[in-house]
Chain A
Amino acid sequence: MWPLIKLIPTKTKVPFVSLSRLFATLSILAAIATIGGVFYPGLNLGIDFKGGTVVEFNTGAKPADLARVRDVVNGLNLGDVQVQRFGADNDAVVRFQTPKGADTSATAASATANRVKAAITGALGQVTFSRTDVVGPEVSGELMQKGIVALLTSIGLMLIYIWFRFELQFGLGAVVALFHDLTLSFGLILLLRLEFSLNLIAALLTIIGYSMNDTVVVFDRLRENRRKYKRMPLRDLIDLSVNETLSRTVITGLTALLALSGLAIFGGESLRPLSIVLLFGIVIGTYSSIYVASPIVLLWGVRRDDEPARPIGPQPANLVRRP
């Protein structure tokens, strides 16, 4: 048998807690930058949430002449039209919003899309229209509302679950970590100017799940060690627990990254934002369980006197260690 790779030495003693001040500062700065970014430049909302039309086309062997397309489509008076390359040289998308108060009846909407397609074909000759998406103002409003409700509901349910399974102080740590991960993921979306779509809401929800998952594992160990080493200061207890679970944290995080890396590289242009945000979420979720969730517990302090003192001497095994 070959020697097993060990990414993390068997016994680590990284003083995580003493480094937390530095990382907390970094996290807070990043969060502030994100919140600022939401106001300016703001989220790049996709048609899922603001309505509009996206037409994707492929020009085959020759590269798409975007300037030509821009010219002819702008001639149709559709308001603000974006023409962009989409991945390869011969792939491009045209996006425009349905003008306010326009006729959205089936025939009219179809006529608009047809005019755009005819204009593109007229400018470039034979092209393949690989994708057409139209989202009306009513549906986009509902999707926006549903997206926000979904995010809030899942955060709420996580809270209830944590409250149910752990004491309040842990719950607080987990929730701060959760908001931290969400905020920074938004930060990434803002930074890369990713189009905010339903897919990204799905990514954010998954990140919420993953972030909690990671935090729960660390907290489980913390809770166990607290019972095991009653006299150890909380600070050391946190360091111990994080170090003990470090190997798992790193291996699991790496597995998840490996699993998604294929998708990020070969999954195609339309899935790229989703995979990028997911990859980032895994990294940030791992970081936050170590550097956000646990220090908050320390900051708040765990009341340890609520555990009744037990007589010294042999105790039933299930009282000493409970999983």
Chain B
Amino acid sequence: MLALSRWKILLVLASALFGLIFTLPNLLPDNVLETVPAWLPHDRLSLGLDLRGGSYLLMEVDTDALNQERLTNLTEDVRTKLRVAQINFANLGLQGEVVSVQVPDAGQFQQAVKLLSSQIGGQLTTGGRDVNVAQKPGQVIEISYVPEAAREAAKDAVARSIEIIRRRIDALGATNPSITGQGASRIVIEAPGESDPERLKAVIGKTAKLTFQLVDTTLSPDDLKAGRIPPDDEVLPSDDQHQPYYVVKRRVMVDGGMLTEASAGHDPETGEPDINFAFNGVGAQRFGEATSENVGKPFAIVIDRRVLSAPNIQGPIMGGSGLIHGSFTEESAHDLALVLKTGALPAPLKVEEQHTVGAELGADAVKAGQISILIGAALILTFIVLSYGLFGGFAAVALAVNGLMIVGFMSLFHATLTLPGVAGLLLTLAVAVDANVLIYERMRDEARAGRPAMAAADAGFSRALTTIIDANVTTVVAAVIMFWLGAGPVRGFALTLLIGVLSSVFTAVLITQVLIGWWFRATRAKKLPIV
């Protein structure tokens, strides 16, 4: 094995060169890196959020709420379609996930089935309708979504949510956020750098469903106390301290989907922050109609099922623009205008996981990581040289190249270095040394068994190799599983360990081999320096 073939030497030189070139961008300061020719790599190791500070958010699209809303819409759709076709119906309602309706007239029953089968619901992307219309005994029609429909709706909701979140974050001015879908109904947001995570979360997580609903002023306080609320009314909580809730009509006069503009401003008289808004053509027309029909009555401005304020309609508002007053601060007015403008999320979002690391803690962690690596590496190098002398020095050279290769590979793959990843890196160095220890101990054994130096060294390499591979397969298996398990930092640990073990075995076996081969050629030694 110590016979140095040309390819072995080439491979060693190539790997050292590779490590050096790809590690270099990490060591150069920014202004020097800019002067490096473009054909050389410029990619640096990316640091995990735990090292540079930033926020990680895992949000889940509330599919239950999404489903409920789709079913409610379906029910309303059935009502409208039957009314328009002048079909008499009774007992329209939602039972679990099924909309059921009774058509008492036998003649109209088939007409209703035909109408609903062709006009309710929409198309699946795979073809076919997304609803199932079934006839039940007693002139009852049951309409339900097919299972694929829920999946498609969730997928669509995630895609739309990502789009809306991106627009909201961009408007907030966060730097380089990464927003990706995960699984069927989740969204991962990673925003590096100094940003207020609570504000980020509040802006991202606000559904921002804006509706204008009439306040029901006919209800007496006694009825309200007794819970006698008409079926077309609902009770909504309010931000107003004098009136903690309002009874409003369920029917939405106009909703935020028709907004074209929303911006924060100030009330010219009081100077308090408020929000200007403007509707598109259809919205303006509906708003105009609704306000002219209800002059003198109060209407509620509702966001995410909370009443912001309920001003009286002074007169018809025809221009399609208006003002929202509320108890705003500068920031909350700005953020609300922002989310109104970017549109409502298709469904509420739940925070499933959040990790925020302040920039200071990140900087401390980087420092801690650097010190740990320096100390670990220094101790290992000293120990290996003390234990094996010159050959230990060879192992140390291999270890250095190994370090370059690991950093080089990680920069090349844009792998993320996390704080646990630093632990992985250190363990890797130990694994690399282990390979050399196995080889050298084997050489000692062979030399003691009476083999001449060269043959003992040779046997050391070839005999130890199977053991080295046997022993490292186990670490590789563990690392692959960790990567699969991986959430953020642990994944960083696994990746570092994996790249490290592979590169360690390579460098520890091959580089020391070439160095020892050269040494034998140069000195023609008759005795191993480690015996």
Residues of A participating in the B interface, judged by any CB pair closer than 8 Å? 1-2, 4-7, 10, 56, 58, 104-107, 109-110, 113-114, 117, 128-136, 138-139, 143, 146-147, 149-150, 153-154, 157-158, 161, 165, 198-199, 201-202, 205-206, 208-210, 212-214, 216-217, 220-221, 244-245, 247-248, 251-252, 254-256, 258-263, 265-268, 270-271, 274-275, 278, 323
A266 neighbours in B (Cβ, 8 Å): 368, 371-372, 375
- Beyond contacts A104-B350, A130-B361: 8 other A-B pairs, Cβ-Cβ < 8 A, are A138-B60, A139-B352, A198-B485, A202-B490, A202-B494, A205-B478, A220-B470, A260-B376
CA distance A32 to B374 in the complex (A): 40
CA distance A132 to B361 in the complex (A): 11
B58 within 8 A of A: yes
Cross-chain pairs A/B with CB under 8 angstroms, 21 sampled = A2-B386, A2-B389, A6-B387, A56-B361, A106-B351, A131-B357, A139-B353, A157-B481, A205-B481, A209-B479, A213-B471, A217-B438, A220-B466, A221-B467, A248-B441, A251-B437, A255-B437, A262-B374, A265-B375, A267-B422, A267-B423
Most buried by A among B357, B423, B426, B474: B474
Task: Determine whether the beta carbon of A248 is less than 8 Å from that of B490.
Answer: no
Determine the residue in chain B with the shortest Cβ distance to A162: B474
Task: Determine whether the beta carbon of A267 is less than 8 Å from that of B369.
Answer: yes
Task: Determine whether the beta carbon of B355 is less than 8 Å from that of A133.
Answer: yes
A106 neighbours in B (Cβ, 8 Å): 59, 201-202, 204-206, 348-351
CA distance A300 to B356 in the complex (A): 52
B427 within 8 A of A: yes
Q: Which 4 A-B residue pairs are closest in the complex by CB-CB distance?
A: A106-B205, A262-B375, A209-B478, A212-B474
Determine the residue in chain A with the shortest Cβ distance to B358: A130
CA distance A256 to B379 in the complex (A): 10
Give chain B's interface secondary structure class: helix
Task: Determine whether the beta carbon of B368 is less than 8 Å from that of A268.
Answer: yes
Most buried by B among A5, A105, A247: A105
CA distance A2 to B530 in the complex (A): 11
Task: Determine whether the beta carbon of B389 is less than 8 Å from that of A136.
Answer: no
CA distance A265 to B477 in the complex (A): 29
Task: Specify which of A1, A213, A267 is in contact with B475 (CB 8 Å cutoff).
Answer: A213
B380 within 8 A of A: yes
CA distance A275 to B438 in the complex (A): 25
CA distance A205 to B427 in the complex (A): 13
Residues of B participating in the A interface, judged by any CB pair closer than 8 Å? 50, 58-60, 62, 197-198, 201-202, 204-206, 304, 348-358, 360-361, 364-365, 368-369, 371-377, 379-380, 383-384, 386-390, 419-420, 422-423, 426-427, 429-430, 433-434, 437-438, 441, 444-445, 448, 462-467, 470-475, 477-479, 481-482, 484-485, 487, 489-490, 493-494, 497, 529-530
CA distance A2 to B448 in the complex (A): 21
Do A259 and B466 contact each other (CB < 8 Å), given the known contacts A107-B206, A130-B360, A158-B474? no
CA distance A153 to B11 in the complex (A): 36
CA distance A109 to B358 in the complex (A): 19
Task: Specify which of A6, A134, A199 is in contact with B489 (CB 8 Å cutoff).
Answer: A199
Most buried by B among A105, A165, A259, A274: A259
Task: Determine whether the beta carbon of A199 is less than 8 Å from that of B427.
Answer: no
Query: Smallest CB–CB gap between B386 and chain A, Å?
Result: 5
Determine the residue in chain A with the shortest Cβ distance to B355: A133
CA distance A153 to B441 in the complex (A): 33
CA distance A128 to B467 in the complex (A): 51
Task: Determine whether the beta carbon of B427 is less than 8 Å from that of A278.
Answer: yes
CA distance A1 to B391 in the complex (A): 12
Task: Specify which of B351, B422, B429, B448 is in contact with A136 (CB 8 Å cutoff).
Answer: B351
Most buried by A among B374, B438, B448, B470: B470
Task: Determine whether the beta carbon of B490 is less than 8 Å from that of A198.
Answer: yes
CA distance A206 to B421 in the complex (A): 12
CA distance A265 to B379 in the complex (A): 14
B384 neighbours in A (Cβ, 8 Å): 255
Task: Specify which of B352, B419, B530 is in contact with A138 (CB 8 Å cutoff).
Answer: B352
Task: Determine whether the beta carbon of B373 is less than 8 Å from that of A262.
Answer: yes
CA distance A1 to B531 in the complex (A): 13
Task: Determine whether the beta carbon of B438 is less than 8 Å from that of A136.
Answer: no
B350 neighbours in A (Cβ, 8 Å): 104-106, 109, 136
Task: Determine whether the beta carbon of A274 is less than 8 Å from that of B420.
Answer: yes
B497 neighbours in A (Cβ, 8 Å): 206
CA distance A244 to B388 in the complex (A): 17
Task: Determine whether the beta carbon of B427 is less than 8 Å from that of A256.
Answer: yes
B204 neighbours in A (Cβ, 8 Å): 106
Determine the residue in chain B with the shortest Cβ distance to A103: B350
CA distance A109 to B356 in the complex (A): 14
Do A259 and B356 contact each other (CB < 8 Å), given the known contacts A104-B351, A248-B437, A268-B365? no
Task: Determine whether the beta carbon of A206 is less than 8 Å from that of B420.
Answer: no
Task: Determine whether the beta carbon of B354 is less than 8 Å from that of A244.
Answer: no
CA distance A222 to B480 in the complex (A): 29
Do A128 and B358 contact each other (CB < 8 Å), given the known contacts A106-B205, A135-B353, A258-B380? yes
CA distance A58 to B202 in the complex (A): 24
Determine the residue in chain A with the shortest Cβ distance to B471: A213
Query: Smallest CB–CB gap between B60 and chain A, Å?
Result: 7
Do A252 and B430 contact each other (CB < 8 Å), given the known contacts A4-B389, A202-B490, A216-B474? yes
Most buried by A among B58, B348, B350, B423: B423
CA distance A251 to B440 in the complex (A): 11
B422 neighbours in A (Cβ, 8 Å): 263, 267, 271
Determine the residue in chain B with the shortest Cβ distance to A5: B386
Task: Specify which of A114, A158, A205, A256 is in contact with B430 (CB 8 Å cutoff).
Answer: A256
B444 neighbours in A (Cβ, 8 Å): 10, 247
A220 neighbours in B (Cβ, 8 Å): 466-467, 470-471
Determine the residue in chain A with the shortest Cβ distance to B438: A248
B387 neighbours in A (Cβ, 8 Å): 4-7, 251
A259 neighbours in B (Cβ, 8 Å): 376-377, 379-380, 426-427, 429-430
Most buried by B among A139, A198, A201: A198
Task: Determine whether the beta carbon of A209 is less than 8 Å from that of B477.
Answer: yes
Task: Determine whether the beta carbon of B419 is less than 8 Å from that of A271.
Answer: yes
Task: Specify which of B361, B484, B490 is in contact with A131 (CB 8 Å cutoff).
Answer: B361
Task: Determine whether the beta carbon of A110 is less than 8 Å from that of B205.
Answer: yes
Query: Smallest CB–CB gap between B400 and chain A, Å?
Result: 15
Do A150 and B60 contact each other (CB < 8 Å), given the known contacts A216-B467, A247-B441? no
Task: Determine whether the beta carbon of A202 is less than 8 Å from that of B420.
Answer: yes
Task: Determine whether the beta carbon of B361 is less than 8 Å from that of A260.
Answer: no
Task: Determine whether the beta carbon of B485 is less than 8 Å from that of A201.
Answer: yes
Determine the residue in chain A with the shortest Cβ distance to B56: A133
CA distance A150 to B483 in the complex (A): 10
B50 neighbours in A (Cβ, 8 Å): 270
Task: Specify which of A199, A208, A251 is in contact with B490 (CB 8 Å cutoff).
Answer: A199
Task: Determine whether the beta carbon of A255 is less than 8 Å from that of B430.
Answer: yes
Query: Smallest CB–CB gap between B222 and chain A, Å?
Result: 31
Determine the residue in chain B with the shortest Cβ distance to A258: B379
Do A260 and B423 contact each other (CB < 8 Å), given the known contacts A134-B354, A254-B383, A323-B466? yes
A136 neighbours in B (Cβ, 8 Å): 60, 350-353
Task: Determine whether the beta carbon of B358 is less than 8 Å from that of A263.
Answer: no
Do A165 and B358 contact each other (CB < 8 Å), given the known contacts A4-B386, A258-B379? no
Query: Smallest CB–CB gap between B206 and chain A, Å?
Result: 6
A154 neighbours in B (Cβ, 8 Å): 477-478, 481
Task: Determine whether the beta carbon of A150 is less than 8 Å from that of B206.
Answer: no
Task: Specify which of A56, A58, A133, A267 is in contact with B372 (CB 8 Å cutoff).
Answer: A267
Task: Determine whether the beta carbon of B58 is less than 8 Å from that of A150.
Answer: no
CA distance A143 to B353 in the complex (A): 11
Query: Smallest CB–CB gap between B207 and chain A, Å?
Result: 8
Do A132 and B389 contact each other (CB < 8 Å), given the known contacts A256-B427, A260-B426, A263-B426? no
